[in-house]
Amino acid sequence: MIIKLEQDLSKNDIEVLIKYATMSKDVERITTILQAMDTRIKCRMDDSDKFINISEVYYFESVDKRTFVYCEHSVYRTESRLYQLAEDLAHLGFVQANKACILNINVLDSIKPLLNSRMEATLKNGERLYITRKYLDCIRRALQEGSQL
Amino acid sequence: MRKTVISIMSTTGITLVMLAIIGAFSGAKFIFISSVFESLAANIIIQLGYFLTRKFESKYVALETALDIGYAIIVLISFGFIFHWFTSTPIWMLIIMFIVIYILGLFLNIFRVREEINTINKLLQIRNKKAN
């Protein structure tokens, strides 16, 4: 892969052009990475709004009809509904882990079975989440499709 | 779909073996063909119903399990009345049979889930290696 960087003072924003002979998984992956970098979500913390880059999000959780955004060290709130986020962010590697949680598979470190027919996911920051069997197949498929941020 | 068919076939198989064991102990010599189809039908209804019961998710696993067991027992008792099973098998025997089959099914599921988890962890290792 050839990477060329070119400074153009007339540009206000970063422009990325990907040239390829055939559409491959690698091209799709690069596109996903760029899309994720360019996708932001409006969050709220301490009465102030902030736009968070989607690739920084570890998982979304719905508690009492409120949606929380969990990053590596911080937690925010968002007005978006969980089902809406699941639909919008599926192509960026976000999969349902249980009824109330959408996980970024790119921060998933490992999964282990628990005794109560559930699974425990360990994230890259050491945090643990439970996964229900129903969604295990979605996680495997997402990993096999290989969308990586 | 494939998993559901496998589940139906394996639970029907276990049901028939259980039936044969109980029959052998009570001096029976054969199983009626109709019993085979009735067992298959009951297992199909139970497995299809699990699609609905498993939409219900609780933080208490015991509640989910109780729903699964309760639903299956209702199906079995209904089938028992429809196909006159209780003339030869008492209800308590049917419930014990179901509990044994349910436990065996749970063990089969544990193996299947472990296999799936191993696949996921291997995929994660490959991704993490690539990312590093």
CA pair distance A131, A103, nearest whole angstrom: 10
Residue A102 confidence (pLDDT) above 90: yes
The answer to whether the complex's ipTM is over 0.95 is: no
Chain A CB within 8 Å of residue B116 CB? yes
Q: pLDDT digit string (tens) for A13-56? A: 889 999 999 988 778 878 877 887 778 888 988 888 889 988 88
Mean pLDDT of A109-136: 88
Q: What DSSP element (H or E) covers B33? A: helix B33-53
Annotated domain spans of chain B: 2-131
Residue A76 phi, psi (nearest 5):
-125, 175
Contacts of B119 in chain A (CB under 8 A): 140
Contacts of B52 in chain A (CB under 8 A): none
Which of A32, A63, A82, A140 has the most B C-beta neighbours within 10 Å, making it the best mutation to test the interface with B? A140
Q: pLDDT digit string (tens) for B44-82? A: 999 999 888 887 877 788 888 899 899 999 999 999 999
Domains of chain A in start order, with CATH, are: 25-145 (2.40.50.1020)
Chain A CB within 8 Å of residue B61 CB? yes
Signed CA dihedral, A112, A113, A119, A120: sign only: negative
Chain A CB within 8 Å of residue B124 CB? yes
Whether the model pTM is above 0.95: no
Q: Mind telling me how many Å the CA of A117 is from chain B's nearest CA?
A: 7
Mean pLDDT of chain A: 87
